[in-house]
Chains A and B, each alone.
Chain A
Amino acid sequence: MVAVTPETGTSGTVDGAVDGQSADLGAQLRADFDAAVAADERVEPRDWMPEEYRASLVRQMAQHAHSEIIGMQPEANWITRAPSLRRKAILMAKVQDEAGHGLYLYSAAETLGTSRDELLDKLHSGKQKYSSIFNYPTLTWADVGAIGWLVDGAAITNQVPICRCSYGPYARAMVRICKEESFHQRQGYELLLALSQGTEAQHAMAQDAVDRWWWPSLMMFGPPDDESAHSAQSMAWRIKRHSNDELRQRFVDIAVPQAESLGLTLPDPDLKWNEERGHHDFGAIDWAEFWDVLKGNGPCNEQRISQRRTAHEEGAWVREAASAYAAKHTSTGREVQA
């Protein structure tokens, strides 16, 4: 989207302008931006964009990046206890991918004028959020499979449309991330299938995990459309393509036949096919629980953020050493950091 790049510099000068000429320019930039987004063109880092668009993207991308990083914890919880070497390798690779996704997303967010350090500080101080799903504990090995199948499945349903998001760097990051996520989801499904078809105890373990992760997975799509604060604007800006409820319905319709082929049930007595709508009807979500977890009162909120903070604080001396080394070796020219 090059058409709206102004020669006059940053959005700040335009937004803060008082004289008539600049105000006209501001209105023109805004109109050009709106037209370009409506025409499905991509916004790139150097393009003019409304401050609210920038802020909204930073918020969403940061939250997305934080979710990848915090999301490592519930799964890493099982790395040292994985029941076979093959499963252990798969799980390690997955957790490694998540750290990589976090890195892509922080880089993409940095194109909007923020920094990874700033975003991490906001995560650690609770000013920015991460997906509420990661505040639930992984109590058995089957939870690793349920996370892959349901949590990654919900994430993919949410994220595939972001591959066409109006902001170029975010859209491109999502293309790479979605490929890896689809792979993780298949692995999670396959893990659950092995348990479901295994011994009686393994089958029960798989069913218990699905029972515990089903509803939190549906909550990943966010509040119902009429209570979603950012939805309308995000859709107008083509950051978002579908409403929360639309995506949730799509996910339920995909998950139901998958549960059947797994030989597992979903914990919802109201779940049934509705011929007229061509969709599955499903029971009411416990929104009180959702808001409670979001407010910090889920089973693992404190634990997750505290582990993140501790890793960061205990790693401070390592980062300081790397900076000191780089400073010494860059300034003397003896050796430049790789």
Chain B
Amino acid sequence: MTETRTAAALALGDDALILSHRLGEWAGHAPVLEEEVALANIALDLLGQARVLLSLAGDEDELAFLREERSFRNLQLVEQPNGDFAHTIARQLYFSFYQHELYTVLAAGDGPFAPLAAKAVKETAYHRDHAEQWTLRLGDGTEESRARMRAGLDALWKFTGEMFLPVEGLDLDQAALEALEARWLAAVGGVLERAGLALPEGPRTGAWAAGAGRQGLHTEPFGRLLAEMQHLHRSHPGASW
């Protein structure tokens, strides 16, 4: 695998790995038993994607457990803490619609990610549906649920810009990225409209610069996530599990 392909595998693999980890934090805390199953299911799909992608780039465990914060290439969006259920659903809505659009494009091509993308398109269609159904229920449920959904969407909006910046090794040109973003805005906007909500307004520039996550510049909660995730593995150098 060329260096740029490795960079792309890391970027997409880190997205899936870190979001999977966040969803894993919900286990035993979900609002209803069906969501224990659903959130764990999505987390597992994402972890499966992460393992394939990281294995394309190197040893999956070395990459997951022995890199430091500045070497991770995931979007800042996926590392954001879970917050309440609406916050988690807002993150899922933004990300699963992005992932679905992206993998649809990659699956149609003949690049090295096409086989993985073909499988992931099916999984992300399910994730997208889950996020959409909950966005409708929370947006068009009670006053409280609408306010919480609104707050989740607003809080995470600024992190959505970096999804449409070029990723080294993915071979998506400016026109393709713009088309991706337009489809994403239309799809997410459509769900929000049906939920009685609207797309948030304001900049989409990340914590301080759009694209920072892909450069290894993350937000503060991320270091703590890694400390927890990596602690045991790092405590036993060279051990196998």
Binding site for B on A (CB under 8 A): 69, 72-73, 76, 79-89, 92-93, 95-96, 99-100, 102-103, 106, 116, 141, 191, 194-195, 198-199, 201-202, 307, 310-312, 314-325, 328-329, 338
Contact = CB atoms under 8 A, between A and B. Distances in A.
Interface string B124-153: 000000000100111011101100100000
B239 A199 contact: yes
Nearest to A198: B239
A317 B41 contact: no
Interface in B192-234: 228-229, 231-233
A107 to B, nearest CB: 11
B33 A103 contact: yes
A315 B30 contact: yes
Contacts of A106: 33
B31 A72 contact: no
Which one of A195, A323, A324 has the highest number of Cβ atoms from chain B below 10 Å of its Cβ? A324
B36 A96 contact: yes
Interface in B87-130: none
A180 B145 CA distance: 36
Chain A facing B: main interface SS: helix
User: Which size class do B's interface residues fall under?
Assistant: 35 or more
B142 A317 contact: yes
Contacts of B85: 315, 318
Complex A-B, nearest 5 residue pairs according to Cβ-Cβ distance, in ascending order:
A315-B31, A321-B141, A321-B145, A96-B40, A99-B36
18 contacts: A72-B28, A79-B24, A80-B25, A80-B228, A81-B229, A84-B233, A85-B61, A92-B24, A99-B33, A106-B33, A194-B241, A198-B239, A312-B31, A315-B32, A318-B35, A321-B138, A325-B140, A329-B140
B163 interface: no
B3 interface: no
Contacts of A84: 61, 65, 233, 240-241
Nearest to A201: B236
Contacts of B148: 317
B32 A320 contact: no
B47 A99 contact: no
Contact of A85 (B30, B47, B145): B47
Query: Of residues B27, B51, B144, which shows the largest number of chain A Cβ atoms within 10 Å of its Cβ?
Result: B27
A97 B17 CA distance: 21
A210 to B, nearest CB: 17
